[in-house]
Amino acid sequence: MNYEKHIEKILETLLGLESKGDIVITTTTPKSIAQAIFHSSIELLLNNKEQSETLIECDIPYLLEETATHLSAVFLQSESHSNKIVNAFYHRLLQRLNMREIAEMIWHETPFEIALLSYYCIELNNSDSRDLEYLEWRKKYYAK
């Protein structure tokens, strides 16, 4: 993301407010004010990430891509097929979890674990109950 554009827009707004007489900028470096406003806004967004569906939604594509990359590497599947498996698993999860819960699950369990679970459920046509059969099946991928 190009943060400079955001800072320039904030600076433009500040200078516009000053020209209308709404504020008085007394610094010789008004860009530093724009930077401070931008950075404080980003800090607030990041501190409230757990409460922001928008940021969680932004995490999902990254997490699914990471999961597909692991699936492709472990099971020697093409990138295209790995993406299909992960997307199918994601849509299965959406039937019972919201995006926040899915993102938290992937962050907590790791994309590697979700890659194993995706393959087990979608490609091998098993349930995603994480039963003893699944736990036994996945051992060989952690033994490597």
d(CA 103, CA 97): 10
pLDDT at 127 over 90: no
pLDDT digits (tens, 9 = 90+) for 99-112: 888 888 888 898 89
Instruction: Specify the pLDDT at position 12.
Output: 94
Q: Say which DSSP state 122 is in.
A: I
Residue 53: pLDDT band with limits 50, 70, 90: low
Instruction: Specify the pLDDT at position 60.
Output: 82
DSSP string, 84-137: HHHHHHHHHHHTTS-HHHHHHHHHHH-HHHHHHHHIIIIIS---SS--HHHHHH
- Encoded tokens for 89: 């698993």
pLDDT digits (tens, 9 = 90+) for 18-36: 999 999 999 898 888 988 8
Report which listed range, 1-15, 55-69, 92-106, is most confident.
Answer: 92-106
Q: Which residue has the higher pLDDT, 47 or 94?
A: 94
pLDDT at 118 over 50: yes
Helices 111-118/53-75 angle, 10° precision: 60
pLDDT digits (tens, 9 = 90+) for 75-97: 999 999 999 999 999 999 999 99
Domain ranges of the chain: 3-47, 53-142
Residue 1: pLDDT band with limits 50, 70, 90: very low
